[in-house]
Amino acid sequence: MKKIFPFIIVFTIFTATSCENLLLDYEAIKAPSPKDYESKFATLLDSLRYALDLPALAAAIVTDTGIVEARAVGCRRYGGEANVTNTDRFHLGSCGKSFTSVLIGVLVDEGMLEWNTTLPEIFPEYANMMRAEYKNVTVKDILSHSAGFVRDADNNFNKTNTRERRIEALEWALQQPPAQQRGKFLYSNLGFTIAGAVAEKLTNRNYEELLMERVIKQLGITTAGFGAMGIEGKEDQPLQHTPSHAHLTAIADAGLDPVYNPAGGLHMSVGDWGKYIQWTLTIEAGGHQTLLRDETAKMITAPAVDQGGGWSYSLGWGVGDASWAEGKSLNHSGSNGFNYSTALLASKKHYGIIVMTNQGAVGAEWPLDKVFWRVLDYYQKGR
């Protein structure tokens, strides 16, 4: 496999619905054969979907001036009819982390905090109980995975209200020994959960409402939401699938605990994700955008902490030089265990490719590798 970046960054905490009685006779289930579409790109994607034995596949080619093409093909339910539409929603997993950083950037521009604002300044009520190692941790540290927090929370939430449960996660985190020295990279979903709590504390609003109002709607995105994509018991959106769909049926509500939404609970259509990618590429190109001040926007994609091997992490993106991108590349992947998404952006060349499927990955496997390279070839050669 060609190397694009050193490792895949995914969000893998998930709370599966009970899998009892979900065993299927796999021999009786087959994915529909690929078909020809009016769009050459859609035809290409459907052949890839069939070859990789995926329920559905969505992808887009995006530049800093617009979306070249965005298509979704396949089945909402593996073995069902080919009923996926271009407006169907797919889960972003950890690819949603940079959205949280953008929300914090909005609050920075509104004067509510700065990138170097510390945890005791935001949560003075916890200043006396937090470990000394966290008293100098900044918002930028949290968003760049360099605050020292463990990867995931290891506590049972007692509250029923999601905002209160994020505070429970914060209280727990502040009393745990650091898993890494501050300023050193350690991927942390817990950190982004705390970032959501930061936004809620400063505004007295729910993170989900804030993101929709201050970021999502401002970018013209209309299909975004959190959790499962459709209505329980219906096949109105792509159902979520385990990595081995051969043995388990699609699980309609196999999502994350909402407390983790700032770290990886967002979903939307491939075209709407493309709007966000276009906005990001506009930042990289130094173009005009109105969501954030230019200096604030540039922080989102600027290297913030070294990952090793020539790669860095910004505030929601892996950053490094890649031969395929002929220079700076932004990348991220995400999964809640039942979906997979990946984005790769070539900053110097002003384009990016995003891919999504409603089936999870196994371990650190990157299931969309072949899709990316084939779509890249299609974009470069037009065939």
Band of residue 112 on the pLDDT scale cut at 50, 70, 90: very high
| pLDDT tens figures, 166-220 | 999 999 999 999 999 999 999 999 999 999 999 999 999 999 999 999 999 999 9
Residue ranges of E strands in 97-244: 225-226
**Overall average pLDDT of the 149-160 stretch:** 87
Domains of the chain plus CATH, in order, are 26-96+225-381 (3.40.710.10), 99-210 (3.40.710.10)
Confidence (pTM): 0.92
Pair of tokens at residue 221 = 């995105």
Band of residue 35 on the pLDDT scale cut at 50, 70, 90: confident
* 168 vs 97: CA distance, rounded Å: 20
| pLDDT tens figures, 311-330 | 999 999 999 999 999 999 99
CB neighbours (10 Å) of residue 23? Answer: 10
Positive or negative torsion for Cα 35, 40, 46, 51: positive
Q: Which helix (H) or strand (E) holds 208?
A: helix 207-211
Q: Which helix (H) or strand (E) holds 170?
A: helix 162-174
SS3 332: strand
Band of residue 128 on the pLDDT scale cut at 50, 70, 90: very high
Query: Is 363 exposed, middle or buried, given 0-12, 13-18 or 19+ CB atoms closer than 10 A?
Result: exposed
Band of residue 114 on the pLDDT scale cut at 50, 70, 90: very high
Cα–Cα distance list, 57 to 43, 71, 155, 214 (Å): 11, 8, 35, 29
Pair of tokens at residue 165 = 């449960």
Pair of tokens at residue 263 = 């770290």
